[in-house]
Structure 1
Amino acid sequence: MKNHELVQLIAEASDDKRAEEIIALDMKEVSLIADYFLICHGNTERQVQAIARGIQDRVEEEGIHVKRMEGFEQARWVLVDIGDVVCHIFHKEERSYYNLERLWGDAARVPLQIGQEG
């Protein structure tokens, strides 16, 4: 699976768990950390955990290994490292505080196909 397809899959998994303000950033030109960041938030710790679990389950169904997950227990900022794609799942309050979209403002936004009924 290509990285841009993986980002779309992760966005769909996040949307399935009712993540809010799902955005993807193309990091290839601005960072060596990853090719893509996916950023979203949940309104409660339980929802943040459900989003993280949903992402992990969906990528593992595709045979892709999650390299690392950090912050799951506290569920204020969960980082899911899937290699070239890194997911940042915030609790709503932390998202506005850390404001990664502004921090990585030079990164282009990736269009996502989510939240559309077929």
Structure 2
Amino acid sequence: MTFESEGQAVTAPLQSALGAKAKGTLIETVLASLDDAKAEDVVSLHIAGKSALADYMVIASGRSHRHVGAIADHLLRDLKEAGYGNPRAEGQTHCDWVLVDAGDVIIHVFRPEVRGFYNLEKMWAADPSDAPHYAG
């Protein structure tokens, strides 16, 4: 897992004691669910202060259309079970790019080729020259 802190991407281990179904903060629930669903190359960007949209943007990859859809379904189910209501999701019909709006956390789940094309990590980084580049 990678977190962005004050413009710098840093690696941080996911708390092993936190399961996908465990109560925790919204970002912890999201990251645990993505980990449980075997999402790949998960990056969490702290965007509070940069945008009024959310506090965090999480970007992850799935290996195929089916994997992207399964990750999104798993995430939606885990958020609901953790008491975060019914987040909105878009893109589940094609599963190239699924966007899940969970309020203070926005989650993007991509197929690798699509993620490399849009490169959201660079767009939202504090210093684009330091941004992690996803090559897919």
TM-score of the superposition, structure 2-length normalised? Answer: 0.72
Uncovered stretches (5+) of structure 2, i.e. residues with no partner = 1-23, 128-136
Instruction: After the TM superposition, list the runs of 4 or more consecutive aligned residues in structure 1 that deviate by more than 6 angstroms.
Output: none
Residue pair 2:29, 2:82 contacting (<8 A) in 1 also? no
Aligned residue type for 1:22: V
The answer to whether residue 60 in structure 2 is matched with residue 40 in structure 1 is yes
The answer to whether residue 121 in structure 2 is matched with residue 101 in structure 1 is yes
The aligned residue for residue 26 of structure 1 is 46
TM-score of the superposition, structure 1-length normalised? Answer: 0.83
Q: Percent identity?
A: 38
Uncovered stretches (5+) of structure 1, i.e. residues with no partner = 108-118
Task: Give 3-state SS (helix, strand or coil) of 1:78's partner.
Answer: strand
Aligned residue type for 2:90: E
The aligned residue for residue 72 of structure 1 is 92
Select the structure with the greater relative contact order (CA < 8 A; seq sep ≥ 6).
Answer: 1
Cα deviations by residue, 1:72-98 (Å, 9 ceiling, x for unpaired): 111011000011111000111111110
Q: What are the equivalent positions in structure 2 for 1:52-71 lying under 5 Å apart?
A: 52-71=72-91
